[in-house]
Amino acid sequence: MKIYIASSEKHAGKIQEDIFLRESFISRGVPSEILTLKDIVKISKASDIVILKSIWGYHTDFKRFLEQVSSLKKKKVQLVNDYDFVRWNIYKHKYLNELKKSSIIPTSFLHIGKVKKTAEIAGMLSEAGRVFNTDMLVIKPSVSASGYLTYAYDVRKADDVIVKSLYANKHLDFIVQAFKPSIAKGEISAIVINGNLLYGINRFPGVLSYKREAAYIKLADMPISIKKELKLLKDFFMEKFGALPKICRVDFIEATIGHEILEVELIDPDLFFRYIPENMKKKAFSILYKSFAV
């Protein structure tokens, strides 16, 4: 058995989090290697485990990504997270809609695939602003990462550049969300491994607010409202899948009361090891390692 850590061609062997995982497995006597997903599909065997890690950029050709994942499944390679979780997590507009019991930032699907004129898109955004009772919206593809085609849109100004970009990319599925001024305080990313909330990261990606250095949040300091939302999410996973994802990152934003979920990342979650104490890195790996039963 071998554990492969899947990366992109650009990042393979260069990301410290990937290297830490590889060396940690090797130190426990488990062969491990960082390779591109394309190469892993070619050489992996049924007894192997593949961790989807720094495959950043998969969203620009996600159909090919899903084909690669299907190839691994046919070979009976174990995937982290499991195949059902990955397929569920690919489309934001679908999975967020399923989380009925959770507090989700107001989100709707933007139906622009068949529009004939840019004015139709501007009208749809105006209607979204009315429904959400806000002048400011966030628009992003349903399959996206790292700020790809993500816009803050002011309904009052009807930015023609943004509308034209959406029209040029209408072959993609988009979602629209209410913009929350609390983004200035950053997002809180909760890191959950094998069902255990371990820590949080207060981060400022710089897409919709100023880019700042992320900060580690100890488990004891994580907001109670986030812990409650994670319990609801855990119950959802057990009810839908009968299991929990091994690695999970959930991004939250402060709401008027409590916190709302921005995103659930099960495909290639950054665990932000570069911001956490060494003892927590070791603890997180130990919990992950035990869940593999290797």
Could you tell me the CATH number of the domain that includes residue 134?
A: 3.30.1490
68-78, pLDDT tens digit by residue? 999 999 999 99
Domain final residue, candidates 179, 212, 231: 179
* Strand stretches in 70-226, DSSP E: 78-80, 107-110, 136-141, 151-154, 174-178, 187-193, 196-204, 212-217
- Is there a domain that residue 240 lies in? yes
Q: Could you tell me the residue range of the domain that residue 130 belongs to?
A: 107-179
Cα(154)–Cα(158) distance, integer angstroms: 6
Same domain, yes or no: 260 and 146: no
Residue 102: in which H helix or E strand, if any?
none
Answer for the pair 11, 37: CB distance below 8 angstroms, yes or no: no
- Is there a domain that residue 54 lies in? yes
- Is there a domain that residue 118 lies in? yes
Domain holding 27: CATH number?
3.40.50.10490
Same domain, yes or no: 186 and 244: yes
Same domain, yes or no: 208 and 262: yes
- Is there a domain that residue 168 lies in? yes
Strand partners, 254: 259
Domain holding 232: CATH number?
3.30.470.20
The count of domains in the chain is 3
Same domain, yes or no: 241 and 135: no
CA angle 250/87/78 to nearest 5° reads 95
Per-residue pLDDT of the chain in tens (294 residues, 90 and over written 9): 999 999 999 989 999 999 999 999 999 999 999 999 999 999 999 989 999 999 988 888 989 999 999 999 999 999 999 999 999 999 999 999 999 999 999 999 999 999 999 999 999 999 999 999 999 999 999 998 777 899 999 999 989 999 999 999 999 999 999 999 998 899 999 999 999 999 999 998 766 666 788 999 999 999 999 999 999 999 999 999 999 999 999 999 999 999 999 999 999 999 999 999 999 999 999 999 998 765
- Is there a domain that residue 85 lies in? no
Same domain, yes or no: 130 and 217: no
- Is there a domain that residue 86 lies in? no
Domain final residue, candidates 129, 154, 179: 179
Same domain, yes or no: 48 and 158: no
Same domain, yes or no: 96 and 232: yes
Answer for the pair 2, 39: CB distance below 8 angstroms, yes or no: no
DSSP string, 26-87: HHTT--EEEEEHHHHHHH--TT-EEEEEE-TTGGGGHHHHHHHHHHHHHTT-EEES-HHHHH
Same domain, yes or no: 98 and 57: no
Structure tokens at 288: 């992950």
- Is there a domain that residue 293 lies in? no
| Site of tokens 């790292």 | 146
Cα(30)–Cα(49) distance, integer angstroms: 11
Same domain, yes or no: 97 and 190: yes
Same domain, yes or no: 41 and 122: no
Same domain, yes or no: 253 and 209: yes
For the beta sheet containing 32-36, the strands, ordered from the edge strand earlier in sequence to the opposite edge, are 32-36, 3-7, 49-54, 78-80
Same domain, yes or no: 50 and 138: no
pTM: 0.93
Cα(143)–Cα(246) distance, integer angstroms: 21
Domain final residue, candidates 179, 209, 229: 179
- Is there a domain that residue 283 lies in? no
| Site of tokens 């001024």 | 181
Q: Which of these, 178, 169, 163, lies nearest to 120 by C-alpha position? A: 163
